[in-house]
Structure formats: structure tokens, C-alpha cells
Structure 1
Amino acid sequence: MRIMNHALAGARPTRRSLLAQVAALSIAAAMTTIAPASAAELNIYNWGEYINPAVLKKFEDETQINVNLSTYSSNEEMLAKIQGGATGYDIVFPSVHMQDIMAKLDLLEKTDINTYEGFKNIDPAFMRAKSDPKGEYCLPYAFGSVGIFYNRKILGKDITGWKDLIATVEAKGLKFTLLDDMREVLAVGLILNGHKVNSTDPNELQQAADTIIAMKPDVAAFTYDTRPMVQSGDVAAGHFFVGAMVDVFGNTADLGYVIPEEGATMYQEDICVLKTAPNKENALKFMQFYTRPEVAALNVSQQTNGTANVPARQLTPDNIKNSKEINPSPETMQRLQIFEDLGPGLRQLDRVWTKVKTAQ
């Protein structure tokens, strides 16, 4: 297996855990075209630290197909590189809303993965892409929530959600962090005001922005560097992905992760084959390989994300299998919202996000 542009090699495996490092890749590097493919190659383009190397090795050992892995830090970075003319990639892992965008741009290959026998393992609830409701193009890969990672030793208690966190840090003179992510942060403001996270209503967005601005005296930073800050006690808590459960499992006495009682966002990425893929047959073999429960379970065991592969959930380690954070109850799932493609409406969010970031 060969890793290219893999700025996160050696880091602990949480989705987007060190996005800032990957985002620092130069424009020149972002436009690089990967090496020409051969019949025995597969070129995968995935989020940083978002696949267990053991999965790729298992695929290589079984198929004798050499896997080349490159990484990106955001949906937008991946799309820009594909649209910018980078060639040679076979498989990408877009979030659901980005899959819909890529479908509109005619960038994805129809794979008919839904006709493969292993597709029966996929929970139909994860067929969320509006452009692919039957799974004719892409295969659900992984999902998770975006909640609050916290240090109970610093807070002196477990917390239940955003209102509880804010009241606690204000009472104790503590700080927390928010993600440096426009949609995730504005989603918190929208949820706290009873609105949908995909709202483009100017009044609702302004209300959300005002809510976040009111938090800013208690916010240490807008950052992705949340995990070490919470672990060290530099901040009491941080807005972060469920991948932080890898740290909670390592220190259950002091650390916790909660899906806020007010509601939260969730993410889901899918495995998609590019229309320009030079190794479409090998890409389809990988998708078929990933429908196997033991393969999905091997990935989840290192990633601490959820999986859409139902039988795989029973094959994961007990701490993951029994985690209500990684595998939320049906009731909790009802409180999770997933981002959609907003089209031109995204400009409304840009405007209020600028106000949030510049407010004193």
C-alpha cells in the first residue's frame, strides 16, 4: 500500500481530527495528478485517517491489487481537485450532500452496487442521497454525530447538552471550543433556536448567528485542535466529532462525549466511483469487498464511527458495540440532522458566518 499526500500518517484515527494540517497542503500539491494506473492498482482518495490500514492490506492480500491512498481534509477540497483536472483517482468518499452535488456535475459512475448480494447488509435508512435513493451509484460507508467532547474532571460533572455546558462554564469561569466550520457552528445556533440545520431563511440564520455571538465570551477558539485541548484541561469541552470516543475509551474516568439533548448534526460518507476512474473494475471489487460485515467491522474497530452495515455492528469490540454515542438509539437518531446541498442559499450562511467570526 502506498500513501500519497498523507499528512496525518501516524495520528490517532478520528475523522477530521487534524484537518488543519491537511488543509495546509499547497495549491500546487492539491492540483497534483497521481501516477498512471495499471490493471493491478486502485487509487483511493479519502478523508485523512478515515480508513483502517488493515482494511486496505486485507484487500491487497486477497486481490493482489495494489492500493494507493491519498487524503483530503474537506468535501470542498476533494471536489476542487477533481474539477481542477486531477486524474487517476478511482474512489472518493463524499458526504451525502456532496454526493448529490457531484451527481449534478455528472462526476460519478453508476456501479449497480445495489444488485450485489452483499448490499443486503446495508440498513436502508442510510440511503440518504437524493440523487441515489436506491444505491445504484454509491455504497454507504460510515456515519457519526457531531456533539460535545468534554473533560468531566474540569467541569466537575457530566453534561447533557449545550445549555447545560454554557451554564456550567459560565458559573465556573471556564472555556470551551467550537469547530472552525461554518455549517457545523451555525447548525448549533439553528438547533438551539428550534430551526432546521439546512435553513436558508435570513431571519433564522441571523437568530442563529446572534446565539453563537452571545457564546463567544466563553469560547476559547474556533478550532479543529479540540482533542488535545480537552484532554489537557486547557478547555473544559469542545464541539467535536464522535471520533473523539477513541480518547474517551482511553480515559473513561475523566473524558466524555455527549450528543446534545437539544439535537445535533450527523455526517455520513459514501463510497463512490468517479466517472473518470481508470480502474473501474478494481473499484467495484473494493465496494463489493466492503459490503462484507467482517471488513466493515474491522474498519469501525479502529475508527470509532458508526457503520451502515447492520451485521457488522455485532462484530465490533464490545466497547464500540455497546456505545450509545457511536450507535445511537432510534430515539436519539431522530434528533440528528444531516446537511443537504443548499445551492445558491449557501450565500446566506456566508454572510452571517462573517458576522460571527468578526464580532467582538
Structure 2
Amino acid sequence: MHLIRLTTATAAALLATTALSFAEGELNIYNWGNYTNPELIKKFEEKYDVKVTLTDYDSNTTALTKIEAGGSGFDIVVPTGNWVPIYVEKGLLLETRPDQMENFKNVAERWVDVPWDPGRHYTVPWQWGTTGVAVNKTSYSGDVNTSAIFLDPPEELVGKVNVVPEMNDIINMTIFYVGGEACTEDKEVLKKVRDTLVAAKPKWLSMDYGTTDKLKSGEYQATVNWNGSTFRARLENPEVVYGYPKEGYPLWMDAVAVLKDAKNVENAKLFQNFIMEPENAALISSFARYANGIKGSEAFMPEDMKGAPELDTPEDLQAAGQFIPVCPKSARDIYTAIWTELQK
């Protein structure tokens, strides 16, 4: 019996050494800017002796275009859920089977089987949240729970509004505003969408990212924005408030996937499993201030995330939020045409 215990212990030690040796090397992550906790990366590097290189992007479109061109050198990408099927259709992702990984047991029930990745064969949760509007209440003290903030700005906000150039969010928020449904191809609805956006644009200050810092500083008095980014801005500037448009607003989840041409596949899989550990998921959320979808991570969250208005949607506005499905290509082509016109 003693011999068996000794042999088992020795074997376990050898396995641990082998795993560590196997993990040595590199990992190249392609993720949204200002979205990855340096402490998380440091912890992963030290645990597995892996050098992580992080490269930022500013939109789903930018990321897909870069990866589709080939030769990116990235191992991991973090697309929004409704972009994942596009990656899969184009053959850009590796089926890493996160559902069979050790830490998959920590994924909260609602995120185990999702429409954009049935059974979780490709992706693991990163963070999830809402797209709404942020307003500095020193400029405007009226209703913030409306997309009129950017589609028909009140006089106090004319020339002070930023719109993040994320096509799917903006197009769908406008569709909801004019009374349509996500992924609509109704010509009358889309004409209203086009006319509403074109009429609104002269009243905007800009179409840009970098909203967190510019909300904090007051450079943006209002902007379409994500809830976690607004939360971070409010911590530095208490005049910032977040609104959930009553006409409808997107819910989303960003997901960690491994690229088909990844050079460091095993390290990428280790990272997928690593971030499903509650304490590590909490590191992700404590930096960017979004929920993460991992059970037990709440125990490791900063105290100020409990009850934060950017994370706790008012009960009467919860039904207005919805996950945007992957729209048919025919619909996406129409939206792209509207978006292209808006950029002129």
C-alpha cells in the first residue's frame, strides 16, 4: 500500500512536471482594447511559464477582417457571441471542446448551451453586458433610458454626443427605436432607420471609441456605451449615469475562442480552462466591470460591483434587453450599406 502511494505520488509529480514543461512557450491573444486585466495575464504567465502577448482591436469588424486575411499570428480571439457563427462558417475557429474541460463545471447554467455556440464546442465566457447610453447629468437631467439621447438628442446635448462605431449595436438600437425587430429586412422600417441616423449624425460630436476616459474627463457629455465602461467612468466621475433604452437595447456576451491556425494550441486551451476558474473570472470582471458568467466568481468581486446600477437593470426595463441573433447575410448586407452611407 505504501509503495502504491509512493508510486502514485511520483507519477503525479511527473505529470505535473510534464504539463508545466509542455505549457512553456508563448500565447498570442487578440482582444478588445482596455478589456484585459494585467493581473490575470501575469497570473497565467507565472502558473504555466508562458509568455503572453496581448494585441488590441476596437471592433468586431476590425478583428474579423484582420483574422480572415490570414497570417495574423494570433492564437486567441474574443468575438461577441453573434459573431462566433460567422467565424465558424468561415472555418476560422478550432473546435477545442471547452465543454469537456475541467473547469467547465463552473459555467453558470444560462451560459452552458448558447445559440451562438451550441454545446460550447468552441468558446468559453469572457464577459457579458448591455449596450445602452451614458450621460453626464451636469448637461442633461432628463430621461436617460431612451435611444433618443443619440437619435434625437435633446437641445442640451446637441453637439456633445458620441456614437461608438459598432455597426450591429447602432443599427439594431435604431431598428428598435423606430419600432422594428432585430434582423429585420422590412423596407419601410429600414428606410426609417436610414433616415433617422442620417438626420441625427449632424447633431453628434463624434463616432469613436475610447469612451471610458472621455466620459470621465467630460469630453463626451453623452455617448452610446457599454455598461462596464460606463461603470468605470462613473467611479472617477460621479456625474456619469447609465441608461437602458426603453425602446430596446442589445445584450451580448464576448467569448474566448482559439483560431484554426493558432501556433500555440495547447497554451490557448489552457487559457480557456484557466479563465473558467471563479477566482480568475473575477479578475476579468474586477478590471473591466462586467459580469462574467462563471459561478462562484462573485465571492472574489470588488464590493462596489454589488448593486451597481450599471449591472443591475431596473426591473421595468429588463424586458427591453435582448440578445441580437446572427442576422442573415441578406440583412447584414443592407445594414452595411446603411452604415457605409453614414460614414460618408
Pairwise TM-score range, normalised by the shorter structure: 0.7 to 0.9
2:19 aligns with none
Match of 1:210 among 195, 198, 210: 195
Question: 5+ residue gaps in structure 2?
Answer: 1-22
1:156 aligns with 141
Match of 1:59 among 44, 50, 56: 44
1:323 aligns with 308
Match of 1:245 among 218, 231, 252: 231
2:16 aligns with none
Q: TM-score, normalised by structure 1?
A: 0.79
What amino acid sits opposite 1:350 in the alignment? T
Larger radius of gyration: 2
Aligned ranges for residues 162-177 of structure 1 at < 5 Å?
162-163=147-148, 169-170=154-155, 175-177=160-162
Relative to structure 1, the CA distance from residue 327 to residue 136 in structure 2 (aligned partners, 3 Å threshold; closer, same or farther) is: farther
Q: Is the 8 A contact 1:100 1:130 kept in 2?
A: no
Match of 2:290 among 278, 291, 305: 305
Match of 1:111 among 65, 72, 96: 96
Relative to structure 1, the CA distance from residue 230 to residue 46 in structure 2 (aligned partners, 3 Å threshold; closer, same or farther) is: closer
Aligned ranges for residues 129-278 of structure 1 at < 5 Å?
130=115, 132-157=117-142, 159-163=144-148, 169-170=154-155, 175-216=160-201, 218-227=203-212, 229-233=214-218, 236-242=221-227, 243-252=229-238, 254-278=239-263
Question: Matches of 2:171 and 2:321 in 1, distance apart?
Answer: 15
Question: Matches of 1:107 and 1:167 in 2, distance apart?
Answer: 39
Question: Matches of 1:172 and 1:239 in 2, distance apart?
Answer: 13
1:346 aligns with 332
Question: Matches of 2:248 and 2:198 in 1, distance apart?
Answer: 19
Relative to structure 1, the CA distance from residue 318 to residue 179 in structure 2 (aligned partners, 3 Å threshold; closer, same or farther) is: same
Q: Is the 8 A contact 1:143 1:267 kept in 2?
A: yes
What amino acid sits opposite 2:310 in the alignment? E
How much does 1:174 deviate?
Answer: 6.7
2:78 aligns with 93
Q: Is the 8 A contact 2:213 2:233 kept in 1?
A: no
Structure 1 range deviating more: 339-348 or 91-100: 339-348
Relative to structure 1, the CA distance from residue 90 to residue 331 in structure 2 (aligned partners, 3 Å threshold; closer, same or farther) is: farther
How much does 1:196 deviate?
Answer: 2.0
Q: Is the 8 A contact 2:136 2:218 kept in 1?
A: yes
| 1:79 maps to 2:43 | no
Match of 2:281 among 274, 285, 296: 296
Question: Matches of 2:197 and 2:313 in 1, distance apart?
Answer: 26
1:102 aligns with 87
Match of 1:44 among 12, 18, 29: 29
1:7 aligns with none
Question: Matches of 1:131 and 1:261 in 2, distance apart?
Answer: 25
Identity level (%): 28
* Count of aligned residue pairs for this structure pair: 321
What amino acid sits opposite 1:206 in the alignment? K
What amino acid sits opposite 1:203 in the alignment? E
**RMSD over equivalenced CA pairs, Å:** 2.8
1:4 aligns with none
Summarize deviations over 1:55-95 as a string: whole Å, max 9, x none. 01001111112212222222232223222221532211111
Q: Is the 8 A contact 1:91 1:271 kept in 2?
A: yes
